[in-house]
Each structure stands twice: as C-alpha cells, then as structure tokens.
Amino acid sequence: MIKNDLYLKALRGETVDRPPVWMMRQAGRYLPEFQEIKAKYDFFTRCRTPELASEITVQPIRRYSMDAAILFSDILVIPQAMNIEVQMKPDFGPYLPNPIRTQKDVDNVIVPDVHVALDYVMQAIKLTKEMLNDEVPLIGFAGSPWTILCYCVQGQGSKNFDKAKQFCFTNPIAAHQLLQKITDTTITYLKAKVAVGCDAVQIFDSWGGMLSPTDYTEFSWQYINQIIEALKDDAPVIAFGKGCWFALHDMAHSNASALGIDWTCSPQNARYLSGGKITLQGNFDPTRLFSPPAEIKKMVHQMINEFGKDRYIVNLGHGILPNIPLDNAKAFIDAVKEYQIPN
C-alpha cells in the first residue's frame, strides 16, 4: 500500500483535505544534485542507465516531498526504439539526422518489442519503486503520437513545426500510418510500464496547440484517445495538451482520469470547458516561480481556491525551468501542503 496516496485519491475524484502537488520536469535540471550527475553522463546515458534514472527520479522527493514521483526519462526513447535515430545535442536539444519525409521513410519505421528495446526503462521503474518504498505513487509517461511525429518529421525542435504539418497535409496517408505505428508502440510501452510498477501514466501533447481544432481532432486527439482506451483498465491516464484548451470538452468526455491545463487557460474556463466533473491538473506559469516565495505562496493559494481543492492536482502549466531558485520551488510545494480551506 502506498503511504501517501493523495495523488491517486485526486485522480479518483475523492474528497481530500488538500490537493496533491508535483511539478512537471521535477526530476532534473533545476536541482544541483541533478547537475552533478549531468556533468558526468550525457543525456541518453542518464535515461538508459537504470541506476541513474532511478536516482534522478527520487532526488526531488528527497528534497521537497512531493505527492508523486515521475520517472526520469524522455519522450524520444519511443522513436529511438522504432528504428529512428535521435541525438540530444548540448545547448540545442533533440536532433534527428534522418527525418521522416516520405512514404518509404514511414515504411522503414518499426513497431518494436518494447520489452526488449525499452527494457532499460522497465528496470529503472523497478529500481525506483524499491527506492520510493511505497512512500508516494510513481508516474510513467509518453509523448503524444502527434508530438512524437513533430520531432520525427521536423528533425529538431521548432517554433511552428511547419515541416511536420506540411507532411500531414500533403501526405496524410503516410502521416496517419506513422501516427498509428507510434500509437501502437506507445500503448504497449505504457502497459509495460504499468505492469512493472507505474501507478499512473501521463501523455504529454506538448505541440498539440500547433494545430487548429479540426486538425487536432484528426492528427492528435484520436490517437491520444486510442491510448486512453487501451490503458483505462490498467491505470489512471492523465492527458496534457499544451495550448489545447479548445479540446477540453472532447477530452473530458473520454476515459481519461485527469486533464492537464496550461497557464493560458484560467481555472474558471478550464472547469467550464471540461464540464466540471473531471480532475484537472495545473496550471501555474513556470516563469512565475521567479516571483518572491511569499508571492508564490499567495498565488498558489488563490489558484487552489479557483480550481477547488477536490478533483484537482496542483502543478505547473509546463515543465519547471532550469534556473528556478530552490527556495522558490520549495515555496510552491510548501504552499500546497500548508493550504487550508478559506473560512
């Protein structure tokens, strides 16, 4: 039994004394103990070495005692397993030297045996569960098929992913074939993660907001929903679409256990658009963590009051930034733990 199951209670919609809190990208770059590991090992070595991945995962729990841990990994381990080369260049980010641009390229993409190709992730989960000792739940994650396609076709990060969109609009048959291969791989990957110990899974659709509402339905949401349907009986699934406020109504009528909200959508609008019955997660602007700790605490309490303490998970609206002061991150977590319902 997990000793602190506040996060799981919120996913089930149960009444709680305070909402749970964790931070996207909490396992990483803003922590000095992470920087020590980073100085010794390159990015994918950290991902592929279970001892390193598990240590990085538990570092923020040791320091701040969040209500959930999220496994240190990366969304691009999926394309790597699918026979697509992915590099992580310092001060540049993801780089794919052979981007997918043709039907032949799509035909060469494989749907791997995740138990072999991504066994290192499963070993990291087992080690992490031992280290957590049932103190808090462990979250596994994957990128949405659309977000993975963006990197595979664009070949790197982008402000608008124009090449990815062009590929989908000029070669939709190949695009949908690629999206389905990514979806099939992601389903087996997340199922394997749950089987070895993840208590919940989150789907990150970081680039969903690049699409119009109509195109989002066609090229992103239908594939995310396939994943939710496949996982719904295995573990709670959280769907997070950055910039996808327009899809909250459809998302809320799926079998997702919770929806992530970014900071561009107010709590009131998020509750309204999602129908008010599903657990929401978010949505503090990560850059707001530069505000003074006292101001952070005040804003967090206001955010909880606006979302409501039940069916709510406190989080950032995207990942924590690398240069956030440690005391400010602590203020964010402490604000939630100190929260009391207004009289």
Domain enclosing residue 25, as ranges: 6-337
74 marked as binding residue: yes
CA dist 233 → 24, 54, 71, 135, 200 (Å): 24, 26, 21, 24, 11
- The structure tokens listed for 41 are 């090992």
Q: What's the pLDDT tens digit per position in 90-104?
A: 889 999 999 999 999
Number of domains in the chain: 1
* 28 known member of a binding site: yes
Cβ distance 293 to 328 under 8 Å?
yes
Asked if residue 1 belongs to a domain, the reply is no
What is the predicted pLDDT for the residue at 343? 67
Residue 39 assigned as binding residue? no
Task: Say which residues have a Cβ less than 8 Å from residue 88's Cβ, sequence separation at least 6.
Answer: 42, 43, 44, 74, 76, 94, 95
Q: Is residue 244 part of a domain?
A: yes
**Is 318 part of any known ligand binding site?**
yes
**What pLDDT does residue 91 have?**
86
Q: What is the DSSP letter of 220?
A: I
Considering the domain boundaries, does residue 342 fall inside one?
no
167 is in an annotated binding site: no
Q: For residue 202, say whether it is annotated as part of any ligand binding site.
A: no
CA–CA separation, 295 and 182 (whole Å) = 42
Per-residue confidence (pLDDT) for residue 329, from 0 to 100: 98
CB 58 within 8 A of CB 69: yes
- Residue 343 in any domain: the answer is no
Phi/psi of residue 70, nearest 5 degrees: -120, 130
Which H or E run contains 216?
helix 213-216
In a domain, 59, yes or no: yes
Tell if the pTM clears 0.95, that is, is over it. yes
CB atoms within 10 A of CB 337: 14
CATH number for the domain spanning 163: value is: 3.20.20.210
Query: Is 25 annotated among the ligand-binding residues?
Result: yes
CA trace torsion 31, 120, 190, 276 (10° rounding): -10
- pLDDT per residue, tens digit, the chain (343 aa), is 999 999 999 999 999 999 999 999 999 899 999 999 999 999 999 999 999 999 999 999 999 999 999 999 999 999 999 999 999 998 899 999 999 999 999 999 999 999 999 999 999 999 999 999 999 999 999 999 999 999 999 999 999 999 999 999 999 999 999 999 999 999 999 999 999 999 999 999 999 999 999 999 999 999 999 999 999 999 999 999 999 999 999 999 999 999 999 999 999 999 999 999 999 999 999 999 999 999 999 999 999 999 999 999 999 999 999 999 999 999 999 999 999 887 6
Q: Would you say 151 is a known binding-site residue?
A: yes
